[in-house]
Structure 1
Amino acid sequence: MVEPRRCFEGERVAVRIEVSYDGGTGRVDPGVALGHGIRLDRLAVGPHRVELVMTAQRWGRWTLGTVDVDVYDLGGLARRTVRVDLGEIAVFPLPGHAGLTPVPVRLPQRLGEHTAAQRGEGVEVTGVHPYVRGERQRRIHWPATTRRGTLQVHQFAAERASDTVVLLDVLADVVDPVTGVSSLDETLRAAAGLVRAYLRTHDRVGVVSVGGATRWLQPGSGQGYFYRIVESVLEVRKDRAYRSEGLDRLPPPALPRGALVHVLTPLADQRILGILHQVRGRANPMVVVEIPAGEPVPEPGDTEDELALRLWRADRDAMRFALVEHGIAVVAHRPGRTLDLALAPLLRTRVHGGTR
């Protein structure tokens, strides 16, 4: 018995194996072979049981491993071995802290919590206007009525929901040579925090992962949808391996018309520019969230390494400049910091879309 089969990073998984046999026994001796991403914290052995407590260290789909249970007779001369396959578990990334939810200029007509530009039945006051027969009397703005001599009522902004798609660049996993931080880890954690923030405001959120097989899930809403979104991209990492060959065209249903697209990428692979061009061509408003993965460390005094580092920096600056020149917002997320620090500048204005 393995509980739970789904957990978050750092949580513990309990395994209990029941051992049954005829006659007496001398001892039970288990041999444990763990899978990747799993740490054994405790092992307890009894006459009829073997209990293990493990910790899931990193997100992904992991094979827990196997346990070879050796059962000896009273004299220790006869032995029987049974192999128990513990199966797989799904480990969700810990969501990064995020609470801000930038929205596009144009919002769908569904009711939600984002303030729209047009008038409606919201709660945010945008001004006053002359009273029209049939309007609620409790909305009369008495100070303006007194000044103008005619009935004036509060004017409110409409509240709408948004469609948001989180597009994950999993073409490469770049590891910072100094800190050991993985760009793939930071991408999934930031994406999980972003998805949870939008779902809290009752928006519809979808996900697309590009790299190897393109995986996508149409936008949906509800807190339970968070787990469907995360599970849809867990196959990116399975037992420390992930596919990164080839690219497919984005399927039209994956990017609803007018949906705001958050692209989380380390900008380490030029092929991501082709994906961004597809999104831009569909006129979807887009934000590129750069996940820094650290710089190469040159050998001290090696002029060739230093020149290569300058070229590497220039190449990344050129990618950012090309995106900004096409009207795409680019923000940088620093690992270990809240995602809100990167998204805060986008709240000053709404995100515009491209042109077909």
Structure 2
Amino acid sequence: MNLTPRRGAAAPGGPAPLALVQPPAEPPTHWRAGERTLRLLTVTVAAVAAALLTGHAWVLAVAAGPLVLLVLATSGEGRPTVGGAEAAVSARRLFEGETVEARIELAVGGTHGRIVPRPYPGPGVAVEAVDVTGTTVTLRLTPHRWGRWSLGTVDVDVYDGGGLARRTVRVELGEAQVFPMPTHSALTPIPVRLPERLGEHTARQRGEGVEVTGVRPHVWGERQRRIHWPSTTRRGSVQLNQFAAERAADTVVLLDALGDYYDPSNGVSSLDETVRAGAGIAKAYLRSHDRVGVLSIGGTTRWLVPGTGGGYFHRLVETVLEVRRDLGYHLPDLAGLPRQVIPADALVYVITTLTDHRVLEVLRHLTARGNPVVVIEVPIGSPRHDVRALSSARREAAELAVRLWQADREASRFALRARGVPVLPLTPDAGLDLTLAPLLRARVQGRNR
């Protein structure tokens, strides 16, 4: 991937993929000449000019018809009354790639001619179809990028009955919350220590569950349906099954929004992959009835304390929708955050590109707290350079710079693994299951406090 930063300094290569679409200037609200009027005026002027140049007065007869129509157009007779317009959007919250329908109702009185809409979609929004039925304009819009974006603006031209004059009505479609499409994940690795809360994960403690961990002698008053008959027959005394307790996990997804790297060749954004992977992890753990929280660093620090429930996923995503609008750099003081943001023994997934060394400081604080930490590295590839445009000396310097860059990243990975923090490369095309599979060999360890 070509390293094209999208925060801070200007990108050296490729256009900014999220440049805001500026609508045209505010259209005039009064009636003005339409295209047909301009054509009639052209015919009239041409006929008058031909009569003057040739000296034939009969040529003026050609301009008589258009001239009458122009007089009627300027008189304003028979024009419809245009009050305003109301826009209704079928959904204000949707996932990227889903289609939303915008319906515009025009308040038009009298006889009118054509109605021509001219949509100006917002950033990352594509117009799929435009349909006009009577005084109703229907648009089908598809947002392709997550975030809180404007759906755009629509200028609707209303023509009179003869099509000689038109009046423009501007309609704002408002904003929509476009949620990232979560990366598919079905695996939910768990840490060694689990909180004392009922859930679906098998704990190492004994308790009420369904997984048998052993047998023990019967104690008077216990339920007999738990008797393990093979052991009872073999030992000559009543033996009962022992079960492992079932507990819920606390998970926090930490998103590294300190930088965003864009590849112009395929349109891949590191921030897009970061948020989509975080949404996939959150959705998988919420499906297991675990508590999930989110923390984003970069620009304004945002967090949501761990919670659970069917609607909690939308609250998690809404917390980080405005990450792209934060162009500053701010490293949070984890010690200053409320203790509920990162509970004790909560499993912390840090999704990062490992390109900003300030993330290593955040990881150092997390490991010092004793939380089990897993780093999911979003791949961005190595910087590329055009060897044909460089001399031999500059080519060697560029290759050396790339090797040093790769060595620095490998040193960061080695330092994290030496602290017991697993570093897992993200494979967006293969989903999160392949990335998280190594964690299933053993439970994620945390530091003993």
TM-score class normalised by the smaller sequence: over 0.9
Q: In angstroms, what is the RMSD of aligned CA positions?
A: 1.5
- SS of the counterpart of 1:126? strand
C-alpha displacement of 1:79: 2.6
2:300·2:326 contact (CA, 8 Å) conserved in 1? no
Q: Does the alignment pair 1:68 with 2:155?
A: yes
- SS of the counterpart of 1:103? coil
Larger Rg: 2
C-alpha displacement of 1:88: 0.7
Name the residue aligned to 1:263.
350
TM-score scaled by length of structure 1: 0.95
CA deviation string 1:122-146 (max 9, x = no partner)? 1111111111112221111111111
339, 347, 350: which is aligned to 2:440? 347
C-alpha displacement of 1:246: 2.1
Structure number with the higher helix fraction is 2
CA deviation string 1:194-251 (max 9, x = no partner)? 11110111110000011100000000001210111011111113xxx54242222231
Name the residue aligned to 1:19.
106
Name the residue aligned to 1:296.
383
Name the residue aligned to 1:214.
301
CA deviation string 1:42-72 (max 9, x = no partner)? 0112331111111111211111110111212
Q: How many residues align?
A: 353
**Pairs within 5 Å for 1:146-295:** 146-176=233-263, 179-237=266-324, 241-250=325-334, 251-252=337-338, 253-295=340-382
2:297·2:330 contact (CA, 8 Å) conserved in 1? no
426, 430, 443: which is aligned to 1:337? 430
Name the residue aligned to 2:55.
none
Q: Distance in 1 between matches of 2:215 and 2:433?
A: 33
One-letter amino acid matched to 2:436: L
Using the aligned pairs only, state the percent identity. 60
1:102·1:350 contact (CA, 8 Å) conserved in 2? yes
Q: Distance in 2 between matches of 1:270 and 1:161?
A: 33
C-alpha displacement of 1:97: 1.1
CA deviation string 1:95-132 (max 9, x = no partner)? 11111111111111110111111110111111111111
1:128·1:154 contact (CA, 8 Å) conserved in 2? yes
396, 413, 423: which is aligned to 1:320? 413
C-alpha displacement of 1:177: 5.9
1:141·1:154 contact (CA, 8 Å) conserved in 2? yes
Name the residue aligned to 1:50.
137
C-alpha displacement of 1:166: 0.4
Name the residue aligned to 1:117.
204
2:301·2:330 contact (CA, 8 Å) conserved in 1? no
Q: Does the alignment pair 1:35 with 2:122?
A: yes
One-letter amino acid matched to 1:183: S
One-letter amino acid matched to 2:440: L
Q: Distance in 1 between matches of 2:430 and 2:414?
A: 24
Q: Distance in 1 between matches of 2:265 and 2:158?
A: 47
Q: Distance in 2 between matches of 1:313 and 1:157?
A: 45
- SS of the counterpart of 1:100? coil
One-letter amino acid matched to 1:80: R
Give unmatched runs, 5+ long, in structure 2.
1-87, 389-394
One-letter amino acid matched to 1:329: P
- SS of the counterpart of 1:202? coil
1:281·1:355 contact (CA, 8 Å) conserved in 2? no
**Structure 1 residues 105-114 or 24-33, which shifts more?**
24-33
1:65·1:87 contact (CA, 8 Å) conserved in 2? yes
C-alpha displacement of 1:160: 0.5
CA deviation string 1:241-282 (max 9, x = no partner)? 542422222313311122111111111111111221222222
TM-score scaled by length of structure 2: 0.76
Q: Distance in 1 between matches of 2:275 and 2:377?
A: 13
Give unmatched runs, 5+ long, in structure 1.
none
CA deviation string 1:299-333 (max 9, x = no partner)? 34722221111111101001111111122121111
Q: Distance in 1 between matches of 2:137 and 2:259?
A: 40
392, 398, 406: which is aligned to 1:305? 398
